[in-house]
A and B are shown apart, each in its own frame.
Chain A
Amino acid sequence: MHDQLISRFLCGERAAFAELVEHYQRPVIAYFGRLGLSAAEADELAQEAFIRVWTNADRFDPGRASLATWLFSIVHHLAVNALNRADRRYCLPLDAAGEAIDDSPGPEVATQLAERKRILRNALRQLPTVDRSVLALSYFRELDLAAIARIEGCSEAAVKQRLYRARIALRRLLENRHD
């Protein structure tokens, strides 16, 4: 992210914020997707996260953390709350998590892709939230181990351990799945 864009955003320029949302929308929604949330849930939470970023911009200190780290701290907080909520809204049956229209070339490919997504989502949902969250964050290139540790509120060693544990568990779940 360019410093100039961040400065414009911090000054309250809406166009700069729109550019920021454009830049981060994919990683944020992908993060929610990797947590096993449905498209509708991801959309709602991502919107809420960006609104909070806009509203609480005066709390962002570029000297303390990067914008990506700060944004994902908000995103992570919302995600954990959503996952922990007793509300049935966030406890959809595993197979019922719908998603946006697929832009795959043909119906067979689309069906196969949808099936793989369903299997992967079901496997992800069986991982503990902390492990799943670390795994989901690790795919975003702008966040290094230190940033993930800051977001998760743990040490870098703990992040490494959770990541390792999550990958092993996910591999096992996918290999031993019963379709």
Chain B
Amino acid sequence: MTDPFDELLERGLLDPPADFVARVMLRLEPRRTEPRWRSWARYSALVGGALFGSAQLLTFALAAWTAGAAF
């Protein structure tokens, strides 16, 4: 590679705009500081709730089928 190009590659071709940091900081949203255990608890509650709901539905369907079969 010829020297001027190597020098350019070393520099990186682009420089950050003067207001780059300020613009990034403006776009920041407050970070969630939720402890890891709490997200696990939430996930477990979601899965547990879904299982419970499915079991309820299944029970209802089974009951309806049993009632239907009785007549």
Contact = CB atoms under 8 A, between A and B. Distances in A.
Interface of A: 12, 14, 17-18, 21-22, 25-27, 29-34, 37, 39, 42-43, 46-47, 50-51, 54-55, 57-58, 99-100, 116-117, 119-121, 135, 139, 167, 170-171, 174-175
25 contacts: A12-B33, A18-B21, A18-B25, A21-B20, A21-B21, A25-B21, A27-B12, A29-B14, A29-B20, A30-B12, A30-B13, A30-B14, A34-B9, A34-B12, A42-B14, A43-B17, A47-B27, A50-B24, A51-B27, A100-B17, A120-B5, A120-B8, A120-B9, A139-B9, A171-B1
A43 B5 contact: no
A41 to B, nearest CB: 10
B19 to A, nearest CB: 10
B1 A167 contact: yes
Interface in B1-40: 1-2, 4-5, 8-17, 20-21, 23-25, 27-29, 31, 33, 36
Given A116-B5, A170-B1, A21 B17 contact: no
Contacts of B2: 174-175
A26 B16 contact: yes
Given A34-B12, A54-B28, 8 more contacts: A21-B25, A29-B16, A43-B16, A43-B17, A46-B20, A100-B17, A139-B9, A170-B1
B29 A34 contact: no
A54 B31 contact: yes
Contacts of B1: 167, 170-171, 174
Contacts of A26: 12, 15-16
A160 B11 CA distance: 21
Nearest to B4: A116
A31 to B, nearest CB: 7
A29 B12 contact: yes
Most buried by B among A29, A32, A139, A175: A29
A120 B2 CA distance: 11
Contacts of A50: 24
